[in-house]
Chains A and B, each alone.
Chain A
Amino acid sequence: MTMSADEMHDGHTVGPNPSPRIVMMGLRRGGKSSICQVMFHNMQPLDTLYIESTTAPTTSVFSSFIDFAVMELPGQINFTEAMIDAERIFSTCGALIYVIDSQDEYINSLANLHSIILHAVNANPNINIEVFIHKVDGLSEDFRLDAQRDITQRVTDELLDDGLVNVSISFHLTSIFDHSIYEAFSRVVQKLIPQLATLENLLNVLCQHSGIDKAFLFDIGSKIFVATDSSPMDIPTYEICTDFIDITVDMNNLYAVDRRPKTATRTDANTNAGRTDSSNGVKSIPQGRPIGSTSRLSNGVILYLQQMVKGLALVCLMRKESMPKIALVEYNIEFFRDALEQLWLIG
């Protein structure tokens, strides 16, 4: 079950418009490779125990609605020599994710983070610093909040001491064993999308006019949500939407006509019983008509999914009273889809 070195492809962002790049840094054994594997290569969280230590900078390119390159810098590298190189990377970077292992002593990690922030802000004053306080699945609720408070305090204090006041920095509690990593990553990615405000606006208008309680725009492959409407969001809703995407794609793939090499399907939330038969495990959708599904729940909620352009999917929650008017809702969604197409022709 070990991932071999060639399964992590080392791509670059080529072309006249280099895609937004996210750099992931942190001390060794922090969890950077695990995060990349679980999010972008569909690896099961339990299998990440077998990942070998990263020795060279590795880039995962994931291209869906927007091209992203996530570059993971190994934790062992000697920073002082690598820093000159790193500054070049930071200047083309949109966000820097720093992964801290919350189950370990993090003082060294914070010192490292501080020096990295100095270099990063030097190279690119607009860079977003995102701190992932990782592996929180092993901590109790109180401990998590304590850790978050402590780390936030220390980091901001040190930055103030150095006179850096305009640094955009956020802290997230994450774990690969639940949905928190997806949520945190969604937030990171959202800050890098220039079209975010427009998307949120479009979703708000759609919801108002179609009797939809909550709508998300998801990236099907990584299950990051790109945008949502302004109504309050809670985690169980987000989780059921991601699960709904999974079952829709899995069911569809069972009956899909074979037009391309077989892709892996996720069979259980925590397993990889040797059934993946391709090296790139990203969940993909066969060509054909855009996928959609609807599910009725016993508490009167309707889950509605419709595939959109560029590997995105709209997932909505409605009340069952909207079902008789579903034709109108779908009509509105068509307009939404047209708007998305126009957005990406321009953007």
Chain B
Amino acid sequence: MAGSARRKLLLMGRSGSGKSSMRSIIFSNYSAFDTRRLGATIDVEHSHLRFLGNMTLNLWDCGGQDAYMDNYFSTQRDNIFRMVEALIFVFDVESKELRKDIETFVLCLRNLYEFSPAAKIFALVHKMDLVVVEKRQDVYRALMKSLEDTSAMFSFKVQGFATTIWDESLYKAWSSIVCTLIPNVTVFQRHLQTFADISEADEVILFEKTTFLVISHVTNVSSPGFRSDSTRFEKISNIIKQYKQSCSKLRAQFQSLSLRGSDCTAYLDTMTANTMIMVIMSNKTDSRGSTDLLGNSDTNADGDDSFAGEAENNIILANIKIARKMFEKIEMMNPDER
């Protein structure tokens, strides 16, 4: 039986910076609006989350009030900072005491250097919705510069994200963070690429079922007419998460979604018990198809031969069924295998 990887994540930051809100949105299906009812976190809140078949995330949401923070760096030092896989430090962009926040960050780094020198460091510049759009890049870069300098002192490399709970940037940050922790993410990537090639799909995305974080994605770059919105993955996470919440009002969950779009056909279906797969096939604008230069197709009664028809529909679903076994095996793989 494959051993399961336990990943300890430290979520730290000043009181009120948004740590618990983020955690509840991503892992507990809160909507951004619901997070206003969250109170201050008392000391450390532990969550154990099964993520895929062979990984458990042990999330330590450390309350940011001064009294607790003092504790973390004194009496609880080795309890907190030992065996940490990743530190996620949240900076409130509106903080009036940025200097103090950075000092706290440095203290964390110092302790990690001592107890968990292999830890990965992430910085989230949060509540970006409160900054004017034009200033956002500058604010982010300015803060990241100081963080990069301080991390370098301890030979850590910090990865930063600008986030807000009010749009999809939160999903991008957390997807990236969690992906670095999945033990065999390259295996997923490889097999997903194979799946995409065989299905002749333009894009294939693998999501974790509960959180809808992106585990892996493959894009076939040679498809013409593909709008390359680089934030589309996290937007999909956001959209589907909201759909999940709507369905829960009817006390049901959604199992699959099939979209016959204006320029594409997409299928979102269960892959394994922990993952869902989305397969996107865009309109093939080749000379055979009845598409003009604008991509308008004539919608006559016998349907459009340049869109994925019923036959392709069934092939995709059959492929997913067959691939299921393979992906289940990957999930249960021993974390040390590659």
A258 interface residue (CB < 8 Å to B): yes
B329 interface residue (CB < 8 Å to A): no
Is B166 within 8 A of A268, CB to CB? yes
How far, in whole Å, are A289 and B307 apart by their CA atoms in the complex?
Answer: 9
Is A248 within 8 A of B259, CB to CB? yes
In angstroms, how far is the closest chain B Cβ from the Cβ of A13?
A: 30
Is B266 within 8 A of A255, CB to CB? yes
Is B240 within 8 A of A273, CB to CB? no
In angstroms, how far is the closest chain B Cβ from the Cβ of A239?
A: 7
In angstroms, how far is the closest chain B Cβ from the Cβ of A140?
A: 18
Is A255 within 8 A of B280, CB to CB? yes
Is A236 within 8 A of B263, CB to CB? no
A92 interface residue (CB < 8 Å to B): no
Is A298 within 8 A of B254, CB to CB? yes
B299 / chain A contacts, CB cutoff of 8 Å: 289-290
Is B295 within 8 A of A269, CB to CB? no
- Pick from A257, A265, A287, A294: contact of B225, CB under 8 Å: A257
How far, in whole Å, are A334 and B232 apart by their CA atoms in the complex?
Answer: 32
B31 / chain A contacts, CB cutoff of 8 Å: 268-270
Given contacts A243-B246, A269-B242, A271-B167, contact A295 B261 (CB under 8 A): no
Is A273 within 8 A of B280, CB to CB? no
Interface mask (B120-132 → A, CB under 8 Å = 1, otherwise 0):
0000000011000
- Pick from A254, A259, A299: contact of B250, CB under 8 Å: A299
B262 / chain A contacts, CB cutoff of 8 Å: 252, 256-257, 285-291
Is A240 within 8 A of B235, CB to CB? no
Is A293 within 8 A of B129, CB to CB? no
The chain B residue sitting closest to A252, CB to CB, is: B261
B257 interface residue (CB < 8 Å to A): yes
Tell which of B229, B280, B282 has the most Cβ of chain A within 10 Å: B229
A247 interface residue (CB < 8 Å to B): yes
Is A273 within 8 A of B164, CB to CB? yes
Is B246 within 8 A of A239, CB to CB? yes
Given contacts A256-B263, A289-B260, A297-B254, contact A270 B243 (CB under 8 A): no
Is B261 within 8 A of A288, CB to CB? yes
- Pick from A257, A285, A295: contact of B227, CB under 8 Å: A257
Is B260 within 8 A of A293, CB to CB? yes
B258 / chain A contacts, CB cutoff of 8 Å: 293-295
The chain B residue sitting closest to A301, CB to CB, is: B252
| Number of A-B contacts defined by CB within 8 Å | 148
Tell which of B133, B232, B257 has the most Cβ of chain A within 10 Å: B257
B101 interface residue (CB < 8 Å to A): no
B238 / chain A contacts, CB cutoff of 8 Å: 267-268
B28 interface residue (CB < 8 Å to A): no
How far, in whole Å, are A301 and B242 apart by their CA atoms in the complex?
Answer: 18
Among B228-242, those with CB < 8 Å from A are 229, 232, 235-236, 238-240, 242
Interface mask (B92-112 → A, CB under 8 Å = 1, otherwise 0):
000000000000000000000
Is B260 within 8 A of A259, CB to CB? no
The chain B residue sitting closest to A267, CB to CB, is: B167
The chain A residue sitting closest to B281, CB to CB, is: A255
B249 interface residue (CB < 8 Å to A): yes
Is B166 within 8 A of A273, CB to CB? yes
A296 interface residue (CB < 8 Å to B): yes
Is A296 within 8 A of B239, CB to CB? no
B164 / chain A contacts, CB cutoff of 8 Å: 273
- Pick from B32, B252, B264: contact of A297, CB under 8 Å: B252
How far, in whole Å, are A250 and B256 apart by their CA atoms in the complex?
Answer: 17
Among B124-159, those with CB < 8 Å from A are 128-129, 133
Tell which of B225, B236, B295 has the most Cβ of chain A within 10 Å: B295
Is A270 within 8 A of B33, CB to CB? yes
A292 interface residue (CB < 8 Å to B): yes
B260 / chain A contacts, CB cutoff of 8 Å: 289, 291-293
Tell which of A254, A265, A270 has the most Cβ of chain B within 10 Å: A254
Given contacts A256-B261, A257-B225, A271-B166, contact A240 B249 (CB under 8 A): yes
How far, in whole Å, are A301 and B250 apart by their CA atoms in the complex?
Answer: 10
How far, in whole Å, are A301 and B299 apart by their CA atoms in the complex?
Answer: 29
Is B296 within 8 A of A288, CB to CB? yes
Is A295 within 8 A of B256, CB to CB? yes
A271 / chain B contacts, CB cutoff of 8 Å: 32, 129, 166-167
A286 / chain B contacts, CB cutoff of 8 Å: 262-263
Among B291-327, those with CB < 8 Å from A are 294-297, 299, 301, 304, 307
In the A-B complex, the 7 residue pairs with the smallest Cβ-Cβ separation, listed nearest first, are A288-B262, A271-B166, A243-B246, A299-B252, A252-B261, A297-B252, A292-B260
